[in-house]
């Protein structure tokens, strides 16, 4: 091949971000990535949130303190990451493994558009499956003033979580294993020890959102060196954007070799 | 099944001329050019320095299982990055140039379809992704592939043939210039098979570049005038299908003859011009020949005159794999 190739414009090659097309991708992802079984699976974390709220009622502390206790260990420690893991894997990683991503990949839509659409679908699912139950949990726990703080924290945290899990879906076929590794080893083990790392962990930052906005928060929810409230939301937004940006680049380097992976 | 939806595709920018026009692996006005492409999966070589091109009309991509057909098709669509070499589709790189994807339609071999979706939903999604303005296009393509009645049933419960037809409609709804079909007839019943073959030929006649892979020789012969043969990731043969067929017919073959007594028949065959070699093992006589047709004509007469009873005559290496192996020698 000796003929010189005309170099197309960068935007033509990669395509432009198209918000309308991202909505098209999101609607499709919501329909195709959440079949009945997965929807039932998503009901489990929601049920878990309500069970933790019931647990708060039997803790011999004031209702806000009890809610903060279950929020720390249960809602933000278990329900949020597990629910987001299921959702984040469903919108990208599961499709890569199933060999059906090519229906989306083989289109003029830019990788940024595809990733944004997938994330949008995951975020919408997380709002319904996690943020709403978190709000309901505040009611069940008898702390109605915590409804908005819990929902905001859940929404901001799930936005970042889903973005991270979408990124892992674009990076590896074993996205679930790596996602679990991120939560257990990265967040819980290393994040507990290192504040510098915890600043960029969705779970810790979601706690920090609630720590500032919530009616009463335990000392464990306040953590030195981690920004709280609005600053934590900004961190989570930055984390979301960075993860989605890397995922978009990575999507262009995926080897889509069918369901077997051969 | 007739092709009506969609106007003939706009001619894409021509791919760069890469090889002499006389080489049968290349076509004069290519829309797809594969130049020195190799694909490795770890230590496994799936494609090895493959160079060929595809142009308007139907081209059959033939090869035994594991020959690299699917890998080539995925490389041409951009789904797979090539380890070495380049691929051009409609003048661009399908891997990095998103605009090129507007020209490509793919029907993959695997059965995977998005869970819970109906064919109508999938095709409408594909139409929306490609900004197809014609809102009736999805239903028209569903009718073309004979799935209109099942358009609102979840594809989870579809047979393999129905899934393939749904994927054909999903690939065609964007009116692609280049259509890559990986074993598209798998699972189709005989009627649908005939309809799909007619459809693909019509698409080729419209000026689209249609590449159809199969490991079944007669299917490709019914579909395509031009054939590209892959074996173990290498180009084994390319050109007019009759030329390929003749090349295969002239290759050396081995024919098993069970006769009583075999040694007498061997003596009678020894001087015949169609016979290249003889081997007797018990009641089995193996005859090597380059002219199997002549041997078949002469054998009954020779056996009768020698007083030999024939029990069985069959080729030992008639499988497609054997033909392919012979082609790459």
pLDDT at B242 (0 to 100):
72
Distance (Å, whole) CA B310 – CA A179: 69
Report the chain A residue with the minimal C-alpha distance to residue B82.
A255
- pLDDT of A15 strictly over 80: no
Mean pLDDT score of chain B: 85
For A255, the closest of B80, B130, B174 (CB atoms) is B80
pLDDT at A100 over 60: yes
* DSSP for B26-65, written as a single string: S-SS-SEEEEEEEEEETTEEEEEEEEEEE-SEEEEEE--T
pLDDT at B131: 92
Q: What is the pLDDT at residue A118?
A: 97
Cβ atoms A150, A134 nearer than 8 A: yes
Confidence bin at A5 (pLDDT 50/70/90): very low
* Mean pLDDT on A64-87: 93
The lowest-confidence range among A114-118, A232-236, A256-260 is A256-260
Judge: B126–A8 Cβ closer than 8 Å, yes or no.
no
B81/A35 CB distance under 8 A: no
pLDDT digits (tens, 9 = 90+) for B316-325: 765 555 566 5
pLDDT digits (tens, 9 = 90+) for B116-164: 899 999 999 999 999 998 889 999 999 999 999 999 999 988 988 899 9
| pLDDT score of B313 more than 50 | yes
Query: Considering CB atoms only, which of A32, A100, A109 is closest to B129?
Result: A109
| CB contact at 8 A, A247 and A168 | no
Are A201 and A226 in contact by the 8 Å Cβ rule? The answer is no
A125: which residues sit within 8 A by CB, 6+ positions away?
A30, A34, A42, A87, A90, A91
- Mean pLDDT within B72-89: 94
> Rounded distance, CA B104 to CA B292, Å?
43
Contacts of B226 (CB under 8 A, 6+ apart): B27, B57, B58, B59, B60, B238, B239, B240, B241
Query: H-type helices in chain B, by residue range?
Result: 69-77, 119-129, 137-144, 160-172, 190-205, 217-223, 241-249, 262-269, 292-306, 320-327
B19-56 pLDDT tens trace: 555 678 888 889 999 999 999 988 899 999 999 999 99
pLDDT for res B324: 61
Q: B154 - beta bridge partners?
A: none
Provide the 3-class DSSP secondary structure of residue B286.
strand
Radius of gyration of chain B, Cα coordinates, nearest whole angstrom:
24
Residue A215's pLDDT is what? 83
Is B117 part of the contact surface with chain A (CB cutoff 8 Å)? yes
CA distances for A9 relative to A6, A16, B98, B168, angstroms: 9, 11, 11, 32
Is A98 in CB contact (< 8 Å) with chain B? yes
Nearest CB neighbour to A35, from listed B77, B115, B170: B115
Q: Exposed, middle or buried: residue A246 (CB in 10 Å: 0-12, 13-18, 19+)?
A: middle
In this predicted structure, what is the pLDDT of residue A262?
Answer: 37
Q: Cβ of B99 and A105 within 8 Å?
A: no
pLDDT attached to residue B84: 95
SS3 B88: strand
* Three-state SS annotation for A110-171: CHHHHHHHHHHHHHHHHHHHHHHHHHHHHHHCCCHHHHHHHHHHHHHHHHHHHHHHHHHHHH
| Residue B214 confidence (pLDDT) | 82
Average pLDDT over residues A160-178: 94
pLDDT at B322: 59
Sort out which chain B residues have CB atoms less than 8 A from A36's CB and list them. Answer: 116
Percent of chain B with pLDDT over 90: 43
Which residues of chain A are within 8 Å of residue B77 when distances are taken between CB atoms? 102, 106
Q: How far is A3 from chain B (nearest CA, A)?
A: 7
What is the per-residue pLDDT across A42-62, written as a single tens digit (0 to 9) for each?
A: 899 999 999 999 999 998 888
Q: Average pLDDT for residues A152-175, to the nearest whole number? A: 95
Test mutation, B78, B112, B167, chain A, max A CBs within 10 A: B112
The percent of residues in chain A predicted with pLDDT above 70, rounded, is 92
Which pLDDT score, from 0 to 100, does residue B319 have?
53
For residue A122, pLDDT beyond 70: yes
Which residue in chain B is spatially nearest to A103 when comparing CA positions? B126
Reported pTM: 0.81
Q: What is the pLDDT of residue B105?
A: 94
Strand order in the sheet with B226-231: B104-107, B178-182, B209-214, B57-62, B226-231, B234-240
Query: A180-206, pLDDT tens digit by residue?
Result: 999 999 888 898 888 888 888 999 999
Chain A: nearest CA to B301, how far in angstroms?
A: 53
Summary mean pLDDT of chain A? 88
Give the whole-angstrom CA distance, residue B213 versus residue B179: 11
Nearest-CA residue of chain B relative to A22?
B129
SS3 B327: helix
Contact A31 B117 (CB under 8 A): yes
Kindly list the residues from chain B whose CB atom is less than 8 angstroms away from the CB atom of residue A5. 16
Q: Which residue has the higher pLDDT, B230 or B244?
A: B230
Encoded tokens for B168: 């054909």
Check residues B289 and B179 and name the one with the higher pLDDT. B179
């Amino acid at each position: 091949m000796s003929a010189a190739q005309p170099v197309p414009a960068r935007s033509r090659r990669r395509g432009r971000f198209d918000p309308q097309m991202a909505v098209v991708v999101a609607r499709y992802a919501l329909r195709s990535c959440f079949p009945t079984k997965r929807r039932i699976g998503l009901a489990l974390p929601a049920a878990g949130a309500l069970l933790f709220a019931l647990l708060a009622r039997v803790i011999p502390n004031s209702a806000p303190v009890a809610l903060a206790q279950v929020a720390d260990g249960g809602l933000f420690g278990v329900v949020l990451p597990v629910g987001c893991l299921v959702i984040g894997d469903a919108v990208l990683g599961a499709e890569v493994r199933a060999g059906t991503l090519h229906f989306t990949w083989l289109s003029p839509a830019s990788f940024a558009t595809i990733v944004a659409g997938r994330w949008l679908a995951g975020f919408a699912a997380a709002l319904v499956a996690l943020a709403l139950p978190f709000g309901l949990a505040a009611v069940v726990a008898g702390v109605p003033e915590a409804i908005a703080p819990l929902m905001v924290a859940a929404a901001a945290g799930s936005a970042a979580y889903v973005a991270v899990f979408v990124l892992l879906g674009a990076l590896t076929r074993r996205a679930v294993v790596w996602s679990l590794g991120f939560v257990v080893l990265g967040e819980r083990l290393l994040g507990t020890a290192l504040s510098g790392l915890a600043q960029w962990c969705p779970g810790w930052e979601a706690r920090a959102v609630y720590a500032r906005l919530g009616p009463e928060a335990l000392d464990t929810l306040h953590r030195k060196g981690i920004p709280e409230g609005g600053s934590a939301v900004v961190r989570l937004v930055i984390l979301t954007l960075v993860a989605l940006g890397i995922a978009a680049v990575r999507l262009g380097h995926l080897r889509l070799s069918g369901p077997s992976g051969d | 099944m007739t092709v009506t939806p969609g106007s003939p595709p706009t001619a894409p920018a021509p791919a760069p001329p890469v090889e002499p026009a006389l080489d049968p692996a290349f076509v004069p006005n290519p829309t797809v050019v594969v130049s020195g492409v190799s694909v490795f999966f770890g230590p496994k070589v799936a494609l090895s320095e493959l160079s060929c091109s595809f142009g308007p009309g139907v081209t059959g991509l033939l090869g035994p299982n594991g020959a690299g057909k699917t890998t080539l098709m995925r490389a041409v669509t951009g789904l797979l990055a090539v380890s070495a070499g380049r691929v051009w589709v409609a003048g661009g790189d399908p891997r990095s140039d998103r605009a090129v994807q507007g020209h490509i339609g793919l029907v993959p071999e695997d059965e995977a379809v998005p869970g819970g979706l109906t064919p109508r939903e999938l095709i409408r999604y594909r139409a929306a992704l490609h900004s197809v303005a014609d809102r009736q296009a999805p239903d028209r393509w569903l009718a073309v592939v004979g799935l209109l009645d099942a358009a609102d049933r979840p594809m989870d419960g579809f047979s393999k043939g129905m899934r393939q037809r749904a994927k054909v409609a999903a690939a065609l709804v964007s009116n692609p210039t280049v259509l890559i079909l990986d074993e598209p007839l798998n699972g189709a019943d005989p009627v649908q098979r005939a309809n799909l073959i007619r459809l693909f030929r019509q698409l080729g006649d419209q000026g689209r570049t249609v590449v159809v892979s199969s490991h079944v020789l007669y299917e490709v012969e019914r579909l395509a005038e031009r054939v590209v043969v892959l074996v173990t990731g290498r180009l084994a043969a390319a050109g007019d299908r009759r030329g390929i067929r003749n090349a295969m017919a002239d290759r050396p073959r081995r024919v098993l003859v069970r006769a009583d007594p075999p040694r007498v028949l061997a003596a009678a065959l020894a001087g015949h011009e169609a016979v290249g070699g003889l081997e007797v093992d018990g009641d089995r006589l193996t005859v090597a020949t380059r002219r199997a047709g002549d041997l078949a004509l002469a054998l009954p007469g020779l056996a009768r005159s020698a007083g030999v009873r024939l029990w069985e005559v069959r080729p030992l290496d008639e499988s497609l794999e054997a033909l392919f192996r012979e082609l790459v020698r």
